[in-house]
Amino acid sequence: MSPLAEQQYRMIYDIYMMLDDGDRRLLRQFDLSTSQYAALKLLDDSQGLRLTDIGVRLLLDKSTVTRLIDRLERRNLVRRLPEPLDRRVIRVVLTPQGASLRTAASDAHTRSLARRMKILSDDDHRQLYLLLDKLCADLHSNLNG
């Protein structure tokens, strides 16, 4: 890896850590972890997702997903429903309370991100998006290939 690539990686890592810290602080007021918030963002109140799909989308193993959903279920934010055609499959859906909390947390998160990203002009945002999209596409292709 070139020295410039190492500096870029370190910068991406530092930015990730600072954004993650800001997210954690913000979500604390909703008594949510970043993983819990991410799970709520994936779900809806009708179709929901299978536990295995939540794990794949959040890059979490099966036992971690189970504990995560257990915590959300204890707070009445989600509920587990058996799949009608295959009772071995469990779907997780949002409760009305979960949907309400997700909306409040998401609105606050959007405002927080806007404050943290206000240093960038519209052109900066477009450039950053294009570069990150290019990097993301390549990383995804390397995951799957």
Asked if residue 87 has pLDDT above 80, the reply is no
Q: What was the pLDDT predicted at 86?
A: 81
Integer distance in angstroms from the first to the last C-alpha of the chain?
Answer: 21
Coil, helix or strand at residue 92:
strand
Its pTM stands at: 0.88
| Range of weakest confidence among 59-73, 76-90, 117-131 | 76-90
With a cut of 90, say whether residue 114 has pLDDT above it.
yes
Q: Which long-range contacts (CB under 8 A, 24 or more apart) does 99-102 make?
A: 99/45, 101/30, 101/32, 101/40, 101/77, 102/37, 102/40, 102/41, 102/43
Does the structure show a pLDDT above 80 at 57?
Answer: yes
- State phi, psi for 95 to the nearest 5 degrees: -90, 170
Are 93 and 69 contacting, i.e. CB atoms less than 8 angstroms apart? no
Domain ranges for the chain: 1-30
Is residue 145 very low, low, confident or very high in pLDDT (cuts 50, 70, 90)? low
